[in-house]
Chains A and B, each alone.
Chain A
Amino acid sequence: DADVTQTPRNRITKTGKRIMLECSQTKGHDRMYWYRQDPGLGLRLIYYSFDVKDINKGEISDGYSVSRQAQAKFSLSLESAIPNQTALYFCATSDNSLNTGELFFGEGSRLTVL
């Protein structure tokens, strides 16, 4: 089983619908992140969390919200989806004790907004 699990893996929805992408991890890492990936633009940071009580905006947080329900769970919500939010979304974790800055990614959630 994957150490960082995302659900759903694929989702097609309509403009205006609320969508939640969930992420859970068994790595025991405190730090969790949500990125989106678009062709030609690379990975861009949406939100990050260093512990359950800490939530921070990334470079493209508009239109998104997050919830850190537990150390192991970090959810991303689109309150009212729009077509330009169609992308591949990745959850990632990192271990601040390792001091390498390495990110461990989930398998991705492909979201299509019609």
Chain B
Amino acid sequence: QKEVEQNSGPLSVPEGAIASLNCTYSDRGSQSFFWYRQYSGKSPELIMFIYSNGDKEDGRFTAQLNKASQYVSLLIRDSQPSDSATYLCAVNRGNTGGFKTIFGAGTRLFVKA
């Protein structure tokens, strides 16, 4: 079992729809959770992080965390073609550094105009 699992996709949604990206993790000691966006040929960039159970909203993005189920998700509302990218889920045992940051393989999202 991989430590961080994501559906590789591609996930295809029409413009304006809600895109839902899911991630599960195996280490119950994980404390911080991240979503990075990576455009083709580019480097990952952080779009959301979440530490506590529940929802965290930032603009069109909402991160959801359920530690009991070891599940974290990212919702993108009003999806735009510019949201088409690979989304990487990452988990970290601590809330500093990054040396224990484990990445999933990523989910490719395609938003159709």
CB < 8 Å neighbour of B98 from A44, A103, A106: A103
B106 → A minimal CB distance (Å)? 6
| B105 adjacent to A41 (CB under 8 Å) | yes
Are A107 and B43 within 8 A (Cβ)? Answer: yes
Of B53-61, B62-70, B75-83, B89-97, the one contacting chain A is B89-97
The residue in chain B whose Cβ has the minimal distance to the Cβ of A103 is: B98
Instruction: For the complex formed, measure the closest distance between the CB of B51 and the CB atoms of chain A, giving whole angstroms.
Output: 9
Q: How far is the CB of A25 from chain B (nearest CB, A)?
A: 13
Whole-angstrom CA separation of A101 from B44 in the bound complex: 14
Chain A residue total in the interface (Cβ 8 A): 26
Q: Does A100 contact B (CB under 8 A)?
A: yes
Q: Is the CB of A42 within 8 A of B104?
A: yes
Chain A positions within 8 Å of B94 at CB level = 101
Q: How many A-B residue pairs have C-beta atoms within 8 angstroms? Tell me.
A: 68
Return B68 CB to nearest CB of chain A, in Å.
22
Tell me if B98 and A33 are in contact (CB < 8 A).
yes
Q: Decide if B97 touches A90 in the complex (CB within 8 Å).
A: no
A5 to B33, CA, bound (A): 26
Quick one: which of B44, B45, B97, B105 contacts A94, CB cutoff 8 A? Answer: B97
- 30 CB contacts below 8 A, A to B, read A31-B98, A33-B98, A33-B99, A42-B88, A42-B104, A45-B99, A48-B98, A50-B97, A50-B99, A58-B99, A90-B43, A90-B44, A94-B98, A96-B96, A96-B97, A99-B95, A99-B96, A100-B49, A101-B49, A101-B96, A102-B34, A102-B46, A103-B36, A103-B46, A103-B98, A106-B43, A107-B42, A107-B43, A108-B42, A108-B43
B interface residues, Cβ below 8 angstroms from A = 4, 8, 32, 34, 36, 42-46, 49, 88, 90, 92, 94-99, 101, 103-106
Interface residues of A (CB under 8 A from B): 31, 33, 35, 40-45, 48, 50, 56, 58, 90, 92, 94, 96, 99-103, 105-108
